[in-house]
Every structure is written in C-alpha cells, then in structure tokens.
C-alpha cells in the first residue's frame, strides 16, 4: 500500500492518492486495486489533509481485501451477473404481467383484454410463483392437455367444454410469453416450441370452424343475396369482395370511400370488450387501401343513399358510419357475426361466419395466381409469413396452377 502526495500543473499541493497492491498476474506483473484520491478541501492545511488521508488509507485497504472495491472490468462483469440473476429470478405471474404491459404498446385494446382474461387459467396451472427458468416442456404440455377437459363458465346454458379455438388461444398466449422470455435472456429456449398446435379430430365438430366457402359457394350466396334486403346485400358483398375483418367493416365510414377511383381505405375497427363498444386501430395498426369491384361499389352507393334517406327521415345521426344499429350507435362485431350466422343457417350454409369470407378472398385469389405479396397486403397481414402459414393449401394449389401454366406455355408447341 502506498500514499502518494499529489500536485497540480502549477506544482501546488492538491491531495493524496491511495494505492493498494493486489498481487501479480500470470506474467508476474504487479497489479493494483483501483486507486482512491483524497482531494484537499478549500482552506485545508496540507498536514490536516495528510492525516485525513492516512485515516482513509487503512479503511480503503480493508475494503479492497474484502472484495468491496472493483475495477471497471470487474464492475461490468458483476453488473451483468446481477442482471442475469435478476432475470432468472422472474416468477411466472409477474413475468406474464410484464409481457402484457409491453404488448399494450403495440397490440390492440381487444387483444390485450383477451390476454388478461386468459391469464387466470394459465397462471393458475403454471404457478404464480414458479420461476420462469423452471418451466419445462412437460409442464407446458400438461397445461395444454388439461384444456381439452376444462370448462368455460361463460356459456348461458352452464359450463361448457372449451372450444378448439379457445384452446389455441391459450396455446398461442403461453408460447408468446415464453418467446419474450427467450428474447430477454430469461431462458435460453422456449419449451412451448416442442408442443404441437392443438388440432381437432377428423370427426370433430370443431373442424366446422375451418369452413372456407368455395368459389361455387360464393356464387350461390350472391344469387341468394339478390333476394335479400339492401343492407344485408351490402354487408355480405363487401365482406366477400374486400376480405376485411368484422371489426373493420363495423368501423367503415363513408369518408373512407373514393367512389370515383373505386377504392376504400381501411383506417379503423370497432371493438367490444368489458361491455363497452369503442373505436380502435386495425389489428396490425396500419391503414390499407383496397380497390373494390364495380358491382360492389354500386351496391355500396345504393346503400349510402338508402341509409341517408332512412336515418335523416328518422332524425338519427350515424356519424358517418356505413353500418350502424337502428338507433345510429356503432355496430358491434358480435352482432354482425350473429347476423351472418343466422343468414347462413337459413340458406344452407350452417358454418358460415364473417371470417369465412376473408378466408375465401385469400384462398380464391392465391389459387387464381395473384402474388402472395399482393394478397397479404389486401388482407392486412403484417407480412407474407402469416399468409403462407395459414393458407398453405391455397399456395400449394397456386403453385400447381403456376406449374401447369408454365408447362402449357413452354410445351404446347412441342
């Protein structure tokens, strides 16, 4: 240990430096702990400063020997170690809430509310105080398996077994939370990556949820619509042509339409959660402009005129929305779904719901040879990954058609 007198550039005494010997490196070089500077206080005599430095000298050496004094490199290493320990100490319940709070900055209000509603069952099984690092594929698989016999208390007729759609929501949510844990270095791999996506058995009624109207089905629906009221025709034909989501149709305003150019811009959606109806952004948070078939635009023009006349005559304001309830308030997506389901059951399409038309738009477009990038943009997918994953059957059919088209062009003269 050494106490060194210090002076400034003018040679004036300014304090002392304490230097404590640490040992020798593998190369036999001397190594010291970080030095400590004792500055001379204003008006302080050199003798008084020296006595103060000597008192500090012993205490500083003790601190060094006890490992309380670290170099910059050692401090950085300790900070990383402490950060890692802190991450690895995450309990599942707290981490689940942490992830949902992060997602609230990017996901829609409806999505976040859904996550929070699902939280109870997920956290109850995995364990509120279970360390995230202790979650295994076996535990995750046990949770997913338990959902097949679990019941929901939301049904009007009493407890009902969870639907496949609900089970998939839990699966997706748990996988999402653990994916974030991987990204934040809380765990090194996602145990949910080993768990297969829940599927219905071949004879299960759940397979009805995957119903996609064929081109022939759509033609028949159009024929049936010609006998229905104008509002129903406008709703279903627009869903069919645009492939928009139910909430996006409920959020449509006449100001979004450009009848001269034959297009509409999807800017917003209507959400319904906790018994409240509200305007929110689209699922991806982005606007998109769609060109609509001329025949459908004509139906929308006709509906606009009819709506204006009917509501103006009744003294009711729709605030510019294309489709509302009878009192002019926002149309709720669930009410729209019920309307489509009722229409389907009454006309020989028992599995019909609004999202079916979205599936059909994408499937028919891809099978007709429309580039996947264009279809993804029209559907409002963030990228083509979703389109390719969900509509793999259609892209395969499109690939076959592309092959046949190429072969026909190349070999027809052979």
Instruction: Say which residues have a Cβ less than 8 Å from residue 304's Cβ, sequence separation at least 6.
Output: 254, 322
Per-residue model confidence (pLDDT) at position 158:
54
**What is the per-residue pLDDT for 409?**
62
Question: Encoding tokens for residue 232?
Answer: 């129903």
Return d(Cα 140, Cα 197) in angstroms, integer: 12
Q: List, as one string, the DSSP characters of 228-261.
A: S-HHHHHHHHHHHHH---HHHHHT-BGGGEETTT
Can you tell me which residue has the tokens 């009722």?
Answer: 342
pLDDT at residue 288 in the model: 93
- Alpha carbons 25 and 8: distance in angstroms, whole number: 32
Q: Distance of alpha carbon 243 from its chain centroid, rounded? A: 21
Angle between helices 164-183 and 137-147 (to 10 degrees): 160
Q: E strands within 52-157?
A: 151-152
Radius of gyration of the chain (CA): 34
> Which of 58-72, 294-308, 364-378 has the highest average model confidence (pLDDT)?
294-308
If you average pLDDT over residues 305-313, what whole number do you get? 90
CA-wise closest residue to 126 among 170, 163, 183 = 170
Domain spanning 210-401: which superfamily? Answer: Intergrase catalytic core (1.10.443.10)
Under a CB-based contact definition with an 8 Å cutoff, are residues 304 and 238 in contact? no
End-to-end CA distance of the chain: 95
Q: Angle between the 354-367 and 392-411 helix axes, to the nearest 10 degrees? A: 20
Q: Count of CB atoms within 10 A of residue 99's CB?
A: 19
Class of domain 92-196: mainly alpha
Of 193, 188, 198, nearest in space to 132 by CA = 188
Q: What is the pLDDT of residues 224-265, one digit of tens each?
A: 999 999 999 999 999 999 999 999 999 999 999 999 999 999
What is the per-residue pLDDT across 166-223, written as a single tens digit (0 to 9) for each? 899 999 999 999 999 999 888 999 999 989 888 765 545 454 456 888 889 999 999 9
- Rounded to two decimals, what is the model's pTM? 0.61
The predicted-structure confidence for 10-32, as pLDDT tens digits, reads as follows 999 999 999 888 888 888 888 88
Residue 331 has pLDDT above 50, yes or no: yes
User: Which residues, at least 6 apart from 333, have a Cβ–Cβ distance to it below 8 Å?
Assistant: 246, 247, 250, 270, 271, 272, 354
Residue carrying structure tokens 């950085």: 76
- The ranges assigned to domains in the chain are 2-69, 92-196, 210-401
Question: For 381-400, how does the pLDDT look when each residue is reduced to its tens digit (9 = 90+)?
Answer: 877 777 776 666 555 665 66
Instruction: Specify whether the CB–CB gap between 341 and 353 falls below 8 A.
Output: yes
Which residue is associated with the tokens 């036999």?
Answer: 28
DSSP 285-352: S--EEEE--HHHHHHHHHHHHHHHHHHHHHT---TTBSSB-TTSPBPPHHHHHHHHHHHHHHTT-TT-
For 28-80, the pLDDT digits (tens) are 888 888 889 999 999 999 999 999 999 888 899 888 888 888 877 777 877 77
Report the candidate in 160, 128, 134, 132 with the shortest Cα–Cα distance to residue 147: 160
pLDDT tens digits along 115-142 = 999 999 999 999 999 999 999 999 999 9
Q: Please give the pLDDT value at position 267.
A: 95
Q: Is 127 exposed, middle or buried (0-12, 13-18, 19+ CB in 10 A)?
A: middle
Which has more pLDDT, 315 or 231?
231
Of the candidates 74, 65, 64, the residue with the CA atom closest to the CA atom of residue 35: 64
* Selection from 160, 142, 135 nearest residue 150 by Cα: 160
**Confidence (pLDDT) at 414:** 45
pLDDT at 369: 79
């Amino acid at each position: 240990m050494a106490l060194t007198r210090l002076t400034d550039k003018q040679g004036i005494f300014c304090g002392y430096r304490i230097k404590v010997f640490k040992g020798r490196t593998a190369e036999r070089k001397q190594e010291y702990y970080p030095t400590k500077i004792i500055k001379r206080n204003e008006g302080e005599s050199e003798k008084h400063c020296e006595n103060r430095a000597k008192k500090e000298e012993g205490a500083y050496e003790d601190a060094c020997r006890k490992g309380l004094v670290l170099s910059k490199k050692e401090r950085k290493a300790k900070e990383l170690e402490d950060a890692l320990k802190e991450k690895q100490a995450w309990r599942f319940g707290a981490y689940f809430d942490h992830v949902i709070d992060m997602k609230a900055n990017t996901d829609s209000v409806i999505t976040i509310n859904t996550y929070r509603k699902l939280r109870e069952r997920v956290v109850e099984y995995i364990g509120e105080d279970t360390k995230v690092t202790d979650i295994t594929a076996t535990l995750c698989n046990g949770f997913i398996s338990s959902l097949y016999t679990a019941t929901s208390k939301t049904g009007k007729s009493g407890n009902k077994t969870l639907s496949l759609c609900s089970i998939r929501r839990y699966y997706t949510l748990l996988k999402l939370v653990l994916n974030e844990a991987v990204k934040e270095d809380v765990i090194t791999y996602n145990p949910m990556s080993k768990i297969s996506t829940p599927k219905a058995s071949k004879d299960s009624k759940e397979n009805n949820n995957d119903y996609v109207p064929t081109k022939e089905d759509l033609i028949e629906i159009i024929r049936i619509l010609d006998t229905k009221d104008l509002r129903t025709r406008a709703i279903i034909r627009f869903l069919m042509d645009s492939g928009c989501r139910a909430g996006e149709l409920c959020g449509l305003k006449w100001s979004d339409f450009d009848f001269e150019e034959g297009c509409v811009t999807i800017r917003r959606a209507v959400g319904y959660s906790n018994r409240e109806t509200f305007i929110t952004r689209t699922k991806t948070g982005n606007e998109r402009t769609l060109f609509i078939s001329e025949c459908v635009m004509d139906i929308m023009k006709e509906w606009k005129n009819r709506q204006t006349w009917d509501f103006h005559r009744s003294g009711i304001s729709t605030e510019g929305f294309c489709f509302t309830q009878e009192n002019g308030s926002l149309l709720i997506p669930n009410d729209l779904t019920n309307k489509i389901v009722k229409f389907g059951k009454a006309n020989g399409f028992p599995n019909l719901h609004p999202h079916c038309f979205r599936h059909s738009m994408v499937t028919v477009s891809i099978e007709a040879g429309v580039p996947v990038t264009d279809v993804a943009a029209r559907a409002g997918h963030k990228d083509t990954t979703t389109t390719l994953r969900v509509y793999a059957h259609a892209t395969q059919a499109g690939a076959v058609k592309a092959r046949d088209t190429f072969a026909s062009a190349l070999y027809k003269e052979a």
